[in-house]
Structure 1
Amino acid sequence: MTDIRQDVLQGFEQRFGRRAQGVWSAPGRVNLIGEHTDYNEGFVFPFAINRRTLVAVAKRDDHVARVASTFSDEAHETDLLSLRPDKLHGWSAYPLGVAWALGQFGADLWTVPGVDIFVVSEVPVGAGLSSSAAIESAVAVALTDIWKLDFDRRALARVGQLAENKAVGAPTGIMDQSASLLGRRDAGVFLDCRNLHEEIIPLGFENADLELLVIDTKVSHSHATGGYAARRASCEAGARALGVESLRDVHVDDLPRAQQILDDETFRRVRHVVTENQRVLDTVRTLREHGPTAIGGLLDASHLSMRDDFEISVPELDLAVEASRGAGALGARMTGGGFGGAAIALTPRPLVGAVRAAVESAFAERGYTAPDVFAVSAAAGATREE
């Protein structure tokens, strides 16, 4: 963290010609299980990871907000009083969208000072590790401090989601921001997306000598593109046809009736969400009763459901899962919104090298771009850096 903290401070000074008032950070996240359930008011079980986005921030004497970063040559400047979602574009929609969303939640943008913000990130972009929520959450906690706002972490999760939905244009749920803001070391955030009740559940990976490997396939994806929106629309159509408020109200026992009512594609979309909700509940229960070595089959089943019923996997993700399981991973699945991104593999620490080698070899044999395989651990959520 020391090197990246120096990077963000130096970058701020070089870009804005003065010193930052402080540095704030927020992590990316891995979703252990519970994919495309959040916007269906279901259950998710992500955890914050030990790869973070840092923002250096300082107040200004006017109402101007300026944002710059190491990952884009584009710097953006706008007046806080003229912030509108439809006027934001590119990567700046994430930090500036948060400033706008704070105003929607009650911050008086007429009285708060302008800000300069510089962003540095070690969360891979497009890998399904929610680099977007890491930016949003870091900026949210920074502006809350700088502007002396009275928002708790749950409110800031809703702020980040609003920014993502309206400023970025991605119809995502609240899972990513919740994980980034509420995460704890070696624990997951079990979140009920209907009432936003969350519970911190110990993972126990450290004591069980397990590593969670992330396999970044380098197949980039974007939540703002059509596949994600189409899946969400299918879920909403399925709920309407079944006469329920959301798919949260459909249970596994209801699936035979659903199959009679729905067309095949919509039924399979519904079946994924319904069974995935149950897998989240089963994962939390299994962790409590039997520990982390017993959840591998649930991870495997989740991937098959996303591949066959929700149809959001790609050949590279399927290969990553197959190769890692063949080399000794206890369970594996794609993670994130799909159509690219990353897979995860829960792996005994002595087998990490073998799993990595097997995945890299399998990708090379198929002629795919070499994946980036690395371990992550569950980490603390967004904070001000000392």
Structure 2
Amino acid sequence: MTSHPLPLVRAAAPGRVNLIGEHLDYNGGRCLPIALDRRTVATVAASPDGRHHLHSGELAWHGAVGERADGWASYVVGVLEALGVRDPLAVTIRSDVPVGSGLSSSAALECAVAVAVNACLALGRSDEELVAACIAAETSYVGAPTGGLDQTTALFGRPGHALLLDFADGSRTPVPWRPEPAGLRLLVIDTKVAHRLALGALRGAPAGALAGASSGDGGYAARRAECEAAARTLGLDRLADASPDDLARLTGNELRRARHVVTEQARVAEFVDALVEDDWATVGHLMTASHASLRDDFDVSCAELDAAVEAARDAGAAGARMTGGGFGGSAIALVPVGRADAVEAAVRERFAEDGYESPAVFPVEAAGAAEVVQIS
């Protein structure tokens, strides 16, 4: 424990949208996310009484240092444990990253807390060490078998850029992402289908109340296990190392999961080339092809996501796809600026016709990484 007074530190961390490369992080492949201009803010200060006190909207958790937490508080306490924190802290959370929407509210929460605690306690941890701690919080403490895409994006995102993340060699390569000069805009379509039923109770929680997105839900874990099984069948350490010819050695679900991984790897490479060449038509085509693969081969879409993609495309989107782990959450659509309102109206009309809850639709831009915004 520290023996000197602790400052109050406020830090903010972004949610993320994965443009393409879904479910490739834990398979040792490449992904292309952007950090969002929607953020979670964590305010960290000394505890007044020797216990941890966590607040998010009307939600609260209070416990001794080392005491096990659950629910939304487990993401915060998991970070404290991963960082080896033994100072009792008061942590307050607020956020405009939608919960359970596939935009990585959990990683935004973890990374905001990690950055704030690192500064508050003068831990001196590097961004790489903070990423590792946040991944450990989600995988080991919370128990969600995620691959590290979200936390890496939150701590290394760059304004106006996507990050080409290679989970085979750990490299991070910024790739310009500026659709606006081409007359395009990226829309998020939040279907309001939460990743897991437990999040449903939080839909009515006050603004800023957070729970982690459940990318560790049963379906996600099952897909990861199927990919690992396919890699073992092929004698590979990483399924992303599989070639198109390897697919002939697989059957059933192992074949379908591997086919998505192999074709998605190729789409990521084509997507990056298209961005370099300012070929937005190809970008849109690859987004739509990625959704079809996630729907048909990886089985992680749902009726609402499919409806969002179809309605956006029919209304003039250049491309659309689900984003995130799937089983609910959000879709993204690349739309001409002049068609944005029409695309939104078409999606809302389709959801109303199909009897779905009205979606949230909003534009997003590529923003910067987590950072300290106040020390006092």
TM-score past 0.5 threshold: yes
Please name the residue that 2:61 is paired with. 75
| CA offsets 1:145-179 (integer angstroms, 9 cap, x no match) | 11212222222112111111011111001100111
Using the aligned pairs only, state the percent identity: 48
Alignment RMSD (CA, Å): 1.6
Out of 127, 130, 150, the position equivalent to 2:101 is 127
TM (normalized to structure 1)? 0.88
Q: CA deviation at 1:20?
A: 7.4
Q: 1:88 aligns with which of 69, 89, 99?
A: 69
Alignment match, 2:150: 176
Q: Which residue of 2 aligns with 1:117?
A: 91
Q: Give CA deviations for 1:250-284 in whole Å, capped at 9, x if unaligned.
A: 123x2xx433x322211000110111111111111
Separation of aligned partners in 1, 2:34 and 2:128: 15
Indicate the SS of the match to 2:109. helix
| Contact 1:88/1:167 (<8 A) preserved | no
User: How far apart in 2 are the matches of 1:76 and 1:192?
Assistant: 39
Is contact 1:20-1:56 (8 Å) kept?
A: no
Counterpart in the other structure of 2:187: 213
1:68-95 CA distance string (max 9 Å, x none) = 111x52323221xx25xxx331101111
Distance 2:44 2:151 in 1: 20
Pair 1:190 & 2:177 matched: no
The answer to whether 1:361 aligns with 2:353 is no
Q: Distance in 1 between matches of 2:362 and 2:258?
A: 33
Secondary structure of 1:343's counterpart equals strand
Partners of 2:178 and 2:215 in 1: CA distance = 31
Shift >4 Å, 4+ stretches: none
Which is helix-richer, 1 or 2?
A: 1
Report the secondary structure of 1:207's partner residue: helix
Q: Cα distance 1:271–1:63, how it changes in 2: closer, same or farther (>3 A)?
A: farther
Whether contact under 8 Å (2:17, 2:35) holds in the other structure is yes
- The answer (yes or no) to whether the contact 2:9–2:119 under 8 Å persists in 1 is no
Q: Does 1:319 align with 2:307?
A: yes
> How do 1:7-86 and structure 2 match up within 5 A?
21-60=8-47, 64-70=51-57, 72-79=58-65, 82=66
Structure 1, unpaired ranges of 5+: 1-18, 104-108
Structure 1 Cα separation of the partners of residues 154 and 42 of structure 2: 14
Which residue of the partner structure matches residue 234 of structure 1? Answer: 226
Q: Letter of the aligned partner of 2:271 in structure 1?
A: T
Provide the C-alpha distance between the structure 1 equivalents of 2:76 and 2:138, rounded to a whole number of angstroms: 10
CA contact (8 A) 2:37 2:364 kept: yes
Give the structure-2-normalised TM-score: 0.90
Aligned equivalent of 2:215 = 223
Cα deviation for residue 214 of structure 1 reads: 0.5
State the alpha-carbon separation in 2 of the partners of residues 133 and 319 from structure 1.
27
Q: In structure 1, how many angstroms separate the alpha carbons of the residues matched to 2:327 and 2:40?
A: 24
CA distance in 2 between counterparts of 1:184 and 1:224 reads: 27
How many pairs align?
351
CA-to-aligned-CA distance 1:24-79 (integer Å, 9 cap, x gap): 10010001111110001110110111110011111247763221111x52323221
Out of 30-39 and 143-152, give the one that drifted further. 143-152
Corresponding residue SS for 2:287: helix
**Alpha carbons 2:146, 2:216 under 8 Å: kept:** no
Q: Relative contact order (C-alpha < 8 Å, sep 6+): which is higher? A: 2
